[in-house]
Amino acid sequence: MSRQPFLPFKVNLDTFIDDLKARLDANRERIAKLLSQEKKTYDSFVKPFEMMDEYLEQFFTPMSHLHSVNNSEKTQEVYTAALPLLTEYGTWVGQHLDIYNAFREVRDREYDLLDPERQRVIDLNIQGFELSGAHLDEQSKARLAEINLRKSELSNRFTQNLLDATNAFEYVITDPKDVEGIPESDLAAAAFTTDDGKTAWKFTLQMPSYIAYMTYGPNRSIRETIYRAYVTRAPENAEIIDEILALRQESARLLGFETYADYSLATKMAKDSDTVLRFLDELAEASLPQGRRELETLREFAGIDLQSYDTAYYSDKLKKERYDIDEEAYRPYFEQNAVVEGLFELLNRLFGVSVRPAEGVELWHEKATAHDLYVDDTLRARLYLDLEARPSKRGGAWMHNWQSHCTDEEGNEQLASAFIVCNFPPSSEENPSLLRHDDIVTLFHETGHAVHHLLSTVNENGVSGVGGVEWDAVEFPSQFLENFAYEPQVLKRFAKHRETGEIISDTMLDKLVETKNFQSATAMLRQLEFAMFDFEIHLRDRPDVQAVLDEVRERTALLKPPAYNRFQNGFAHIFGGGYAAGYYSYKWAEVLSADAFFAIVDQGLFDTKLGRDYLDIILARGGSESMRVLFYKLMGREPDTGALLRLSGIE
């Protein structure tokens, strides 16, 4: 068995659509040939069919990635043109009765002779075909195809509207009094020289800039202006949301589900809607008493009629007073490159993974980097990092898998690759990128996703890495790794002052750990608000979206937001991404992550047997088994839900 090389990152925008059409046509011809076989087996039908999907993903992913990190009119044009082609093809495949029957034929002929990985591929494909409507009559299939195409178009418009609105806003400040107290690094990023030679500061809705003013900006009126701009972005998305919800509900009923939430749960660990709602309600009930105490403390401290645009500002001041902690004092210790190297060392000490620079790799931007992952001196995967904010990059942070570990039709091994994208403060020749501790948590989180995909040893691409993992378990590895960003043993290995080289003091680390759960109940309730809102609107037929959000806030919101707040128009996770009726997954997976984290800490943190078991069971097995089964194999018991409240410091 030979090993296939990593793919080069290449995108030809001028020919992409023609190349995509040719590839899709070739796939249709190949599928027809595969279906013409008289006797279909896993090797003769399923394996080549699965690899076609892998190769299509490999072709499209660089274009999708470029659209997110180097967005331009050209990428928008190409991406928008590509989506209906892919949606149409995906719908055609997903509803193809002959393909569906071919999988059933292979299952009936040789299921008991297949290894567990291949059995899961068969199971998930048959389920996927049924969830795509392969068994429906032709009229229903045609309507479902229309719905899928329209949903894809609407989600793309939602995301683009949000990006355009984010980039369209800027607030220029000329009075130095209005930037007093803002950290120098943030001021340097905002500063520019006006036409008359004076210094002014420009703040935008890009995350580093927005957070800087909302957290440190002394002018309350400016804070409200920037806050209002942020929570009223893309008002045109309101109509898109209504149409998306209606289409999702219609598609769910075509497929035999009462609601879209029920459809969503078909591929998740949670068994039904009541289970999810009860889980969220119990967390809310446990968090509300402490949350109310946290808000009352903040109100007393602020001494004003506290509003949503005040909370970050006064919370930062309260935290500094209570814990004598200044987050900005930490940033010189958290230089981006040092943090990345420290993260790589953590992977080595936890799992025995070595990360080395990948030489001579051409990338899409000068700030992007490539790294190879080794286990026991054997090359296992490649990781690409693009960590700094820029106007052409959409906001937020994410992991995007590219290649999956598998063996191809000829038995050759293909190694995995993935991207991690963040929006950290940009570096320059004069100023390095200095991170907040929250940035470190974000980087560790996305790396947890990445190693889950990259370190798989599964040979079937459809259940390798993050493939085939239940949606409400997919955040387990990411949340697990982010917990280590608070461990003093981890932080001391890379937190050195960028100018003096001094290692961060125990006193500073103790304060950082003490503040970990500052206003933790407030944060918990905020996430529960998102999760409840998401789930509730997908349980109802043509809901009044604002009314549902208001109902949820009556149960979760400690501080009522202004009437103009339209948070939902920017909720890209569920209207532009894949978390519809699944945002609860973050908290659901946190049960698993908290439990596993505390178990490893109890064994001594570094170089533990459980850490290596986590590599060999959770990471290596990917989606080849249910996460419930894998977790039991790791821990020898069911998850302990009490670990979630313990992790959050909620009594």
Contacts of 531 (CB under 8 A, 6+ apart): 280, 583, 584, 586, 587
How would you label 601-622 residue by residue, b for 16+ Cβ within 10 Å and e otherwise?
eeeebbebebbebbbbbbbbbb
Q: Is 110 annotated in the active site?
A: no
Q: Where are the alpha helices (DSSP H) in 355-487?
A: 437-454, 476-482
Specify the residue for token string 């200095």.
434
At residue 482, the 3 state secondary structure works out as: helix
Give the residues across from 369 on adjacent strands. 385
Q: Around Cβ 129, how many Cβ atoms within 10 Å?
A: 22
CB 528 within 8 Å of CB 280 = yes
Contacts of 220 (CB under 8 A, 6+ apart): 309, 310
Query: What is the residue type of 580?
Result: A
Of 446, 460, 475, 590, the active-site residue reads 446
How many residues in the chain?
651
* Residue 510, both tokens: 């103790």
Q: What is the CA radius of gyration of the chain?
A: 25
Q: Where are the alpha helices (DSSP H) in 15-96?
A: 16-35, 47-69, 73-94
* Residue 376, both tokens: 């026991």
Q: Around Cβ 30, how many Cβ atoms within 10 Å?
A: 13
Q: How far is CA 533 from CA 240, 543, 582, 583, in A?
A: 17, 11, 11, 9
Query: What is the residue type of 54?
Result: E
How would you label 90-116 residue by residue, b for 16+ Cβ within 10 Å and e otherwise?
bbbbbbbeebbebbeebbeebeeebee
Please enumerate, as own/partner, the contacts of 164-167 that have beta carbons within 8 Å and a separation of 24 or more. 164/234, 165/205, 165/233, 165/234, 166/204, 166/205, 166/206, 166/233, 166/395, 167/204, 167/205, 167/206, 167/391
* Residue 199, both tokens: 């210094």
What residues are labeled active site?
A: 446
